């Protein structure tokens, strides 16, 4: 048993969709979250910039002595996992491999589609993760760069602009008779309803955040690192910009109120990456 926290970072709000599943599945765990809201989105940044930002975010979280760190950002998981695992003294779990494994299982050999940021799609990380499990699997990728901005703006799933953008991105995928769609960005679960409405009920949707929470639970059980059952789960949130907005919009991701968010000055996390 271990009462050390699980640390989670993301480019902004999206990683809270992973935290939501963690709090449901592992209610006794202590969670520490860092949202790099000053530099969101990571998805349009260069590979080296994403690596630098991810290392800074992760090293900021080391001060809390976590038992593991979750890169709850598909872009960081796609571009920076090797660097994170080499540089950090604790295990690091990303969101790509768990989602890919579930998609392969559900697809039954049918086509799998992946939607994500430009950086995630351009990295080919989901393609590689799927092909590692099923070498002949057909994978169709589509960058959907506007979706993160719509979510970060706080637009509702019923918003007409959201639905129009979703239809623009996903109609070509529906026409290719895909079997499974991977939500390759942790912002996208907030748009699950318009995505499902566009694709139809016959297409399975994989939430990489949910699958990651399962992978974390399996790891903690295997290493006997779960918090004791009597522990009261807690969550602390830190952001690099606009904590009040994070509290307001973030509650949609978490599906509960966020009571306290601490602003982190640049020198506290930028220096952490050195």
Mean pLDDT of 55-80: 96
Q: Can you give the pLDDT at residue 259? A: 85
Based on the domain organization, do 185 and 148 belong to the same domain? Answer: yes
Q: Is 274 exposed, middle or buried (0-12, 13-18, 19+ CB in 10 A)?
A: exposed
Question: Do 234 and 203 share a structural domain?
Answer: no
Same domain (yes/no): 51, 136: no
Can you tell me the mean pLDDT for 105-111? 95
Domain count, the chain: 2
Convert the pLDDT of each residue in 115-135 to its tens digit: 999 999 999 999 999 999 999
Q: Write the DSSP symbol of residue 4.
A: P
- Residues 221, 235 within the same domain: yes
Domain assignment of residue 38, yes or no: yes
116 and 177: one domain? yes
The three-point CA angle 268-61-89 to 5° equals: 120
Domain identity same for 113 and 21: no
75 & 158 share domain: no
Whether residue 162 lies inside any domain: the answer is yes
182 and 117 in one domain? Answer: yes
Q: Residue 271: its pLDDT value, please?
A: 65
In the predicted model, is pLDDT for residue 1 greater than 80? no
Q: Could you say which of 73, 144, 198, 237 is catalytic? A: 73
- The last residue of one of the domains, among 208, 230, 264, is 208
**73 carries an active-site annotation:** yes
- Structure confidence by residue, pLDDT tens digits, 77-95: 999 999 999 999 999 999 9
Residue 1 lies in a domain: no
CATH no. for residue 108?
3.40.50.1860
Domain boundary among 173, 193, 208: 208
Residues 46 and 106 in one domain: no
* Strand stretches in 136-179, DSSP E: 139-143
pLDDT above 70 as % of the chain: 98
Q: In the prediction, which pLDDT does 229 show? A: 87
Residue-number span of the structural domain to which 133 is assigned: 96-208
* Same-domain status, 204 and 101: yes
Q: Does the predicted model carry a pTM greater than 0.85?
A: yes
Res 144 pLDDT > 80: yes
CB count in 10 Å sphere of residue 64: 16
Question: Do residues 41 and 134 both lie within one domain?
Answer: no
Q: Catalytic site residue 185? A: yes
Pair (185, 123) in one structural domain? yes
pLDDT tens digit string along 165-199? Answer: 999 999 999 889 899 999 999 889 999 999 999 99
**Within-domain flag for 14:** yes
| Integer CA distances (angstroms), 97 to 89, 132, 173, 211, 254, in order | 21, 10, 22, 9, 23
User: Which of 144, 185, 198, 237 does the annotation list as catalytic?
Assistant: 185
- Residue that terminates a domain, selected from 171, 188, 208: 208
246-250 mean pLDDT: 91
Residue 272's pLDDT band (cuts 50, 70, 90): low
Residue 45 pLDDT level (bands cut at 50, 70, 90): very high
pLDDT at 258 over 60: yes
Mean pLDDT over each residue of the chain, to the nearest integer:
94
């Amino acid at each position: 048993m271990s009462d050390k926290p699980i640390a989670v970072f993301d480019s902004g709000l999206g990683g809270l969709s992973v935290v939501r599943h963690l709090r449901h599945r592992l209610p006794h765990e202590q969670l520490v979250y860092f949202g790099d809201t000053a530099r969101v989105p990571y998805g349009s940044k260069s590979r080296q910039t994403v690596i630098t930002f991810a290392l800074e975010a992760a090293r900021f979280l080391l001060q809390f002595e976590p038992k593991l760190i979750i890169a709850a950002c598909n872009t960081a998981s796609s571009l920076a996992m090797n660097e994170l695992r080499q540089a950090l003294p604790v295990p690091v779990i990303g969101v790509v491999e768990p989602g890919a494994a579930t998609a392969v299982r559900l697809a039954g050999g049918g086509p799998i589609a992946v939607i994500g940021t430009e950086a995630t799609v351009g990295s080919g990380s989901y393609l590689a993760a799927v092909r590692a499990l099923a070498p002949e699997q057909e994978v169709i990728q589509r960058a959907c760069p506007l979706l993160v901005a719509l979510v970060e703006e706080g637009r509702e799933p019923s918003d007409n602009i959201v639905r129009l953008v979703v239809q623009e991105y996903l109609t070509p995928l529906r026409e290719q008779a895909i079997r499974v769609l991977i939500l390759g960005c942790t912002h996208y679960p907030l748009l699950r309803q318009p995505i499902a409405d566009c694709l139809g009920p016959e297409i399975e949707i994989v939430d990489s955040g949910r699958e990651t929470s399962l992978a974390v639970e399996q790891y903690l059980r295997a290493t006997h690192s779960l918090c004791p059952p009597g522990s009261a789960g807690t969550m602390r949130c830190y952001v690099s910009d606009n904590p009040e907005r994070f509290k307001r919009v973030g509650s949609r991701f978490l599906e509960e109120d966020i009571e306290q968010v601490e602003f982190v000055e640049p020198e506290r996390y930028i220096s952490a990456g050195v």
